[in-house]
A = this chain, B = another copy of it.
Amino acid sequence: MSKKGEQSRENILMAAKQLVMQNGFAGTSIDDILKAAGVSKGAFFHHFRSKAHLASELVRWHAGNDIRMFRTLAAEAEAMYDDPYDQLMKFLTDFEAYISNSAEPSRGCMYAVYTYESEALDEDVNAFVAETLQQWSAIYIRKFQEVIDRYPPVRPVSARQLSEMIVSLIEGGLILQRAYGNTQITARQSEHFRDYLDLLFAQSRDAAA
């Protein structure tokens, strides 16, 4: 694709993302997207066959950026610390700073929008959303497993359980954040979750110190 073509595709995806996060997928028309992106109908259909095709490309584009961001946060934490617990804390606090960043407050989670509109989407789009949620979870699972292996928790808990819990807290926090118009709620859930981790692992960490 030419550089200009690439930029026009990117503009459409950015405009579509913002509209879908505001109004949902069914509540967003191709005309709304053309207007917001400042592109012609011809340019749109040059890149996307239909609204359903856009739905599929949009979530793939978003997930690419999103998972890359999570992997970068994980890599940075691993570069800075050797101890998996320290890595985990940096990973979680960096995410908290990102999600509560007041310059660009989060409007919610695109996977949640797609999940709640799943009946109107193609099967392969729904499967892709579930796979992406699992890829995201896998980043946590790997780190929790390293922590559990190094510092036996005060009660039995699996890396998978902890991962499901933090992902639920983030998704649910984003709903409350949106309902109450308060950009701090999701970060707060991650902070509470770190309190829980401290209760689980402090004893082993103290013993190892």
Residues of A within 8 A of B (CB): 22-27, 108-109, 111-113, 115-120, 126, 129-130, 133, 154-155, 157, 161, 164-165, 167-173, 175-176, 178-180, 185, 188-189, 192, 195-196, 198-200
Contact = CB atoms under 8 A, between A and B. Distances in A.
A168 B168 CA distance: 7
Nearest to A173: B168
A117 B155 contact: no
A187 to B, nearest CB: 12
B176 A120 contact: no
B129 A179 contact: yes
A113 B24 CA distance: 9
Contacts of A112: 112, 116, 175
Contact of A26 (B26, B173, B192): B26
A169 B167 contact: no
A164 B176 contact: yes
